[in-house]
Structure 1
Amino acid sequence: MKFIDKDINNSKIKKEEFHLFVKLADSYFNLGNFQKALQYYHKLSEISPFKKDSEFIGDNYSKIGNTYWQLSDFENSLKFHQKALDIFKKKKIKPKIAQTNINIGNVYQSLSNFENALNYFLKALKIFEEIGNKYGIGIINNNLGSVFLSLNKEEKALHYFQKALKIFEEIDYQKGMANSLNNIGAIYYKRKLLPEALKHFQSALAILKKTGSKSGIATALNNIGDVFADSNKISKALSYFTEALKFEKEIGDKYGISLSLRNIGNLKMRQKNWKEANDFLEKSLEIAREIDAVDLMKDCYLALSELYAERENYYQAFLHYKKFSDLKDKIYDIESEKKLSELQIKYETEKKEKEAEIYRLQNIVLVDANKQLKREIRERKKAQEALQMSEKKFRSLFETASEFIFIMDKNLKILEINPATLRHSGYTESEMLGKKIISFLAGDCKKQFHDFIVKPSAKNPNSEIQFIRKDKSLIIMDCSVSTIFDKKGKLQFYYAFLRDITRKKEIEKMKNEFVSQVSHELRSPLASIKGFTSTIIQDKNMDEETRNYFLSIIDNESDRLSRLIENLLDISKIESGYIKMNFEENPVQEIIELALSHIKPLAEEKHIQLMHSFLPKSPIASFDRDKIFQVLTNLLSNAIKFTPENGTVKVGVQESKNEVELTVEDTGIGIPANDLENIFKKFFRVEGPEIQVRGTGLGLAIVKEIIQSHQGKINVESEPGKGTKFHVFLPKKVKHAKKNSDS
């Protein structure tokens, strides 16, 4: 992901890489990360290698339009869908013209502009009919039925749902058949034509059982249960609701579980089984509260109010009906207010208070509010639909986000957490809910976080905190907080969004350490060059022998500085992935012989014997000749440098099924045990009085990076005073080898 995020801004990317970016953008969309998907779709339009391919551009505009639709930015959604439509019309691509008309129709339906929605759906239908696309015709008929149902034109809605069903039956599209049957059944149920509704719901259930869709099966079972409940067949209704509950528990559908529990509770009330009714309704209410399902909460409060009234517990009946009445975002009509006043009167009678006065006051309120309520009901209906859509999108984001998301009350107690928090923190839901969020923060961060929330600053909208995971490890998080107020301006909730920046902070630390190390390493040779040069310039009478000695030091330090810069450039290219690797199949022993001949003069200077242990037939492996040559010469030169005169350096080769092992062994001074784990780190050098050779401290770091870029590995064993042995393991085949460009 890091590689892709970095290269998305490269306008000269290859076509195969571009297709990878397209798949990544689509994946973000499918995962519900619409903001990220939108960023990629827009960028793809700018860097596309197919800019002359207008069809591709049209497809990308369609994706942008659909993403804006998911984000409820309907203006931009229509803008990009219209751009796509213009392209497809110019290219005369009928299937894509039809699909774009559907997309535009969906946007207008979301805006409750049903006239325009119908217009575009009918345009799409005409095209699908022209090209004989039955699947598309079926989908459009279902869409048309949905629009007419929203307009309360049930007869027309039924007509289109039935047409869709017939088409899906012809092409044997099971999912479409089940959806159409459920839609038709819902209309018959609404009309109280229960036998017809039952027949269609049962047909949908039979199809869904074949497809194995557990959520669809649960919905159909609940629909059938509703029909039997309305037919006063309580036992049958109970069996269907109970079976639906079983499927909903299997798939973890909390809304469905709460719905089925509510249905069963209502039937238990009709059987006057008050205790069981109370248990089922309380369980339903508990889950509804957990997922903030206001419609189910409202139904449960109403049912419990009626239950307590039947048992003559008017105080509890009043409390539950008050809660039901307070949920005004669902319904608020004259009957509910009237019933509230009646319950108040009964309760106040038991308390011997003035029932007549309360009744009169309640009716005065009702009369005064009647006209206003009628206007508000229409407005609330539209607001409810928008709220439901917003809640659905928030829930999708909440469930799929990779960040930690906390919903907290005004005392910072955790009310809800998203799956990513549980997944990455190691805690269970029960271990976090009800606890204050600061109990999961490191000591110094508790007050900082509290002050950040209580005293927010416009200059610092984010705060950096340390979160304690269950295994006691710390994660560095970037935190932002939103506050939710009610209509009166009273604080209700906090939403905290925490993003893991631990890796980012580690990289910043490594960068700072690297800059510090590089500065130190460059300063040393530069200081020597500067010092000796100044001495030569200032001392006009310096004898020639001293001058030549100083010049030789300057020459050596210049070489050292040059090697250091070359090594820095090499390791920087390798680590960033911008160094060319030419993977080819080569005989391994051939490259070893080349490295031995190259290093031979250095060995002869110290009278060191070079030896090798080869196999009868050289193994073949896939590697970059130049880079592996660099690895071997580095290991061999190190072995010679740290081996006393008249010592031995030996190279060996072993072969297994999938890899080749190279060994470089010397009889040198060895490496202390406590230094072994550090020798591959940048700028690390073994220190000691016996060390006579000064290097850059980058050679072995470069060796390790090259081996890892070959998907291989390197390790070392050593004993001070006896020698060192390096083991290099190269795979015979490099998987998915990529050729990167030089920077």
Structure 2
Amino acid sequence: MLFYRLFIFSLFAIIFMHSPAKANNPDSILSVMSNSGISFEEKYALLADIQTLQPMEQIKILSEFLKESEVRKNNRIICEIYCKIGHSNLFLGKMERSKMYLDSASLYMKKIKDNNTLGLYNYIWGDYYNMTLDEVRSHQFYYKAIGHYEKSSQNNKRIIDIFSNIAFSYIQKGDTENLKIIIDRLTPLVSKSKNISSDVIYMRIKSYYYGLLYNKSKELKPVRAYLDSAIIYGERIINFYETDNSHKLYPEDIAYSYIALAGNYLMLDKRDYNRINTLTDKALSLSSAVDTTMIVNCLWIKGQSLRGEGKTEDAEILFEKQLAIMQKWSISENLVMYADLYKTLSEVNLLKGDYKQAFLYNREESEYRKQILDNDKYKIISDLQTKYETDKKEQRIRLQSYIILFLACLCISIFIGAFFVFRWQRLNKNIAKKQQKIIKLEKSEAKLQIQNESDKEEIQKEQDEFVIQLNNKIKEFLKYCPDDQRRYLEKLEAVDRDSIFILKGKGLKKSRIQYCICFAIGMKKEHITACYNIADQTIRKNRSKIKGDLELEKDDDLDIYLIDLFMLKYS
């Protein structure tokens, strides 16, 4: 008996159809949307708060906001609103109306490049085809949505929901290999999300995964560890809910975890029927009164429990009730649920000796099994999974290639840069040595001239005046920068004053000699302009003329020349 696989419909149901535990006041939000005194941006921000409202209430609010969006002709927001209205109609089971809004959203898609909006559009189309049982198209849209959301890196929770819906297909078919790939994809996303509802989704899928492994192991030798793992994850979910003080978990959602756990306990060799019935009753009490999916699940568990206790006739009554409810469903059929139910009814009728009815039920089961195991369709779905994984690997390989190429270019650039820096430093060193030799010769010549001059004292007095004048200007005009002022004065005291005679001998005017001393002691341009009340342009002009007067070459550095001339240290 495949007790376990009945409950997989709940995975899809809870992702899309949970009712809110706490909802905002829809009337107050609706009044805000119709209030012309509130900005469009504020109204748009308020849409984030309507996700906990009932679908019909969401549709009213979104429709009101859509009017203003169309007036403003904001294509991205119009497309987003159409998608969300379509999604809400999907929850209500209004498939045609949902498709109508999604088709309207399609009209705006060509002009949209925002990955979040593109992701939302493909995600909701994926939900639409999922609920219409077109798994191939559903998966195509889901993987497109994941691609856009991964580029935006802002919708981690939405990616988790999409992977959960994809997992539903693999759970339904018992495909543990592809389900394991989805679990591996979910693991880093869930750990990063730090969201309790994402943790619950992840644990629920893991519970289903181990339950499926246990069912497969029964074909040879049952591996009890798989079933134990499935039960452990189920118990963890219930423990999460019962200790959740934040009230972020919906009772209607957790109800399915209770019923799934009851199903796992039902697979044990030694069954505690009291525990199973307690879990089933708890699930029913937490669920919505109109949730026929939960009612069907509870009838199934109670029927199997009665059957295990040998009460076959009572069990058959519950199974017949279950079938009657399922035949009224109009949203989507759960193929595995139908197949397992028809199989159980066939077995019950065999025990009763009603072979004709047993045969009819068996034939119905076969029809549903064929739909589940549509190999051509499932191959396409598996290929989509493979393509997604291959694309991810190719992206990683391309990224690694780009990194290697970048590092290679960086190394070459560093090598070339180092080569030119070395050459430049060597050239500067040679220039500095040449300048120092020239300066020494000039100083020797200047000292001889000073010794021969009859007015030697007059020359030294004039040299001192240059230094004193600059000293006074620095003290007077640079009080606002005491650190720079102190540094300039210290360097000014250390200048070789005989060098002033060399500059004078080269025909430099007094003002330019003053500028040379300023350049030599490393004065900043703005400080020179403050001391001499001149413009920046005047300094640049005098620099050029001083270089010409000193007969320096184009590549020679004036500052280095003057520092060497005045025998100062480089700073």
**TM-score of the superposition, structure 1-length normalised?**
0.35
**Structure with bigger RCO (C-alpha 8 Å, 6+ apart):** 2
- The structure carrying a bigger helix percent of its residues is 2
TM-score, normalised with respect to structure 2: 0.44
